[in-house]
Chains A and B, each alone.
Chain A
Amino acid sequence: MKREIVLPSTLLETGDDLKPGLTTYKIGPNIFSGILGLYEKTNSKEINVIPLKGKYYPSIGDRVVGIVTKFQVFSWNVDINSFHEAILPFSNAIKKERQFYSDLNKLISINDVIYAEIISFDRFSPPTLSIKKKGLGKITEGYIYEMTPGKIPRLIGKNQSMINMIKQMLGIRIIVGKNGRVVALTQDFNKIEILGEVIQKIENESHVPGLTDRIKNLLESKLNKTS
């Protein structure tokens, strides 16, 4: 498995049966990169690059951490670090039918942080959120971090291995939004600082192999120092 750094216009593959994805384009049989990212050969016919920069591209089923920016007539507007604000319709947030509008602002208001699922998105309408499922909803306490959305899979790791290791070693609960926002559910300043360093390291070194070991070492040395 070789990962290669590619730039806009880097030739990735050649083949008439290959298709460009969201991050690539095709001229004749040639597929080129459109972004700065990492390219890894796979068996897929659709050629894509893992982005190293940029905003979140919404996808149905993704769980995201959003910040409420507006209180509208039928919905809240929510910033999800994407190219459009998402919408959380009241009906996707409340269970009771007989709710008054004036109560809603107490439920969720501007600058609140929510953990939500994207339930619909296409090129003609903004992403729509829901917080009705278990585990979703308003986050009332914790510390919020930002990282490049394309690097979130590195924070999670294969089969959640990386994030589970971090949670276990720090002994805290962590919410990971696919849109690049991470929330540590703790008020322990020391652990918040350590997690901040971990996230910074993943941000800077996501393209360098052997990341899991380096994160483990970082956590060990930091935790030893404080205990």
Chain B
Amino acid sequence: MSEFKYGVFIPKIKQKFILNLLNNKKRVDNRDFIEYRKIKIKYGHIPNADGCAEVQLGNTIVIAGVKLDLTNPYPSEPDRGTLIVNAEFPPVASPDFEPGPPDENAIELARIIDRGLRKPEVVDFKKLCIVPGKKVYGLWIDIYALNHDGNLIDAAGIATMAALLTAKYTKVDVSPTGEIIRTNERLPLEVINFPVYITHVKIGEHLIIDPNLEEEMIADCKLTTIISNGNLIGGIQKSGSGALSIEDINQALENSLKIYPRIKEIITSSVK
């Protein structure tokens, strides 16, 4: 399989250099170990989406779009709207990505984002019910990486929250005979919980936040923590084949709780 793949190579001298720097408490782009790259959020340029945001995290670019449309509820939850999170890593974003259906990494990312939105619920899914057992709103979130320079998960999390905060959907009325009529009224989606996705990587003995592509590629493993509403752990994912100590995990949680308000503030203040 590897014969047929294009890839990103991190030369050994660069690996050595990055590790050397970390040993001297420095990073290639002069960032602090628990400092994010510059975050830029762009809104409203995709009029066909019900909500949309494009996030730049350094050179990483991720776009998330929200659509709300009528659908059937799940039999187990007849009075609640549905949520589907889909993520794709299209080849525009990196020579590492191949055309075709989402691979395990894209699916993992979608499921991590999904996890943070379900418990605690990011919106009141009961409010998205129209006729119990018959019609509800389906909330679709599509996440596309446009340029991969590391830490797609956190960028996707920011883009998703920004898109949800600006999403508007068409109000429907139910006639006495049970018919569903679309109105011209657009309702804002009310976000009731605010997850932030924060990823650390472990390189050698060092734990750093928001890795760029080079750091991510040479890392032993990755730990994403989802912080909900400032003090709750809303989800965790460890990925990569290296190992973490309990101290690493506690350190990462402490960092994440510390950084949560800053990231949340960046997102909320960017919404006009």
A touches B (Cβ under 8 A): yes
Complex Cα gap A187–B20 (Å): 9
The count of A-to-B residue pairs whose CB atoms sit within 8 angstroms is: 33
Complex Cα gap A143–B13 (Å): 7
11 contacts between A and B (CB under 8 A): A67-B9, A67-B11, A111-B15, A113-B11, A113-B12, A113-B13, A141-B13, A143-B14, A144-B13, A187-B17, A187-B20
Contact B11 A144 (CB under 8 A): yes
The 3 closest A-B pairs by CB, nearest first: A113-B11, A111-B12, A67-B11
Contact of A79 with B by CB under 8 A: yes
Contact of B127 with A by CB under 8 A: no
Which residue on B lies nearest to A142, using beta carbons? B13
Max chain B Cβ within 10 angstroms of own Cβ: one of A67, A139, A183: A67
Complex Cα gap A112–B11 (Å): 6
Max chain A Cβ within 10 angstroms of own Cβ: one of B7, B9, B11, B17: B11
Contact of A42 with B by CB under 8 A: no
Contact of B26 with A by CB under 8 A: yes
List of B residues within 8 angstroms of A67 by Cβ: 9, 11
Contact B14 A144 (CB under 8 A): yes
List of A residues within 8 angstroms of B15 by Cβ: 111
List of A residues within 8 angstroms of B7 by Cβ: 69
Which residue on B lies nearest to A113, using beta carbons? B11
List of A residues within 8 angstroms of B232 by Cβ: none
List of B residues within 8 angstroms of A141 by Cβ: 13, 16
Q: What's the minimum C-beta distance from A10 to chain B, rounded to whole angstroms?
A: 29
List of B residues within 8 angstroms of A189 by Cβ: 21, 24, 26
List of B residues within 8 angstroms of A187 by Cβ: 17, 20
Contact B13 A183 (CB under 8 A): yes
Contact of B187 with A by CB under 8 A: no
Which residue on A lies nearest to B16, using beta carbons? A141
Contact of A140 with B by CB under 8 A: yes
Contact of B180 with A by CB under 8 A: no
Complex Cα gap A33–B10 (Å): 35
Determine which of B11, B20, B21, B24 lies in contact with A111 in the assembled complex, contact meaning CB atoms within 8 Å. Answer: B11
Which residue on A lies nearest to B21, using beta carbons? A189
Complex Cα gap A79–B6 (Å): 11
Q: What's the minimum C-beta distance from B8 to chain A, rounded to whole angstroms?
A: 11
List of B residues within 8 angstroms of A139 by Cβ: 13
Which residue on B lies nearest to A196, using beta carbons? B28
Q: What's the minimum C-beta distance from A109 to chain B, rounded to whole angstroms?
A: 8
Q: What's the minimum C-beta distance from A67 to chain B, rounded to whole angstroms?
A: 5
Q: What's the minimum C-beta distance from A91 to chain B, rounded to whole angstroms?
A: 23
Complex Cα gap A113–B13 (Å): 7
* A43-77 Cβ-contact flags toward B at 8 Å (1 or 0): 00000000000000000000000010100000000
Q: What's the minimum C-beta distance from A1 to chain B, rounded to whole angstroms?
A: 37
Q: What's the minimum C-beta distance from A112 to chain B, rounded to whole angstroms?
A: 6
Which residue on A lies nearest to B20, using beta carbons? A187
Complex Cα gap A141–B13 (Å): 5
List of A residues within 8 angstroms of B13 by Cβ: 113, 139-144, 183
Contact A69 B9 (CB under 8 A): yes
Q: What's the minimum C-beta distance from A41 to chain B, rounded to whole angstroms?
A: 38
Max chain A Cβ within 10 angstroms of own Cβ: one of B7, B10, B14, B21: B14
Which residue on A lies nearest to B29, using beta carbons? A193
Q: What's the minimum C-beta distance from A83 to chain B, rounded to whole angstroms?
A: 13
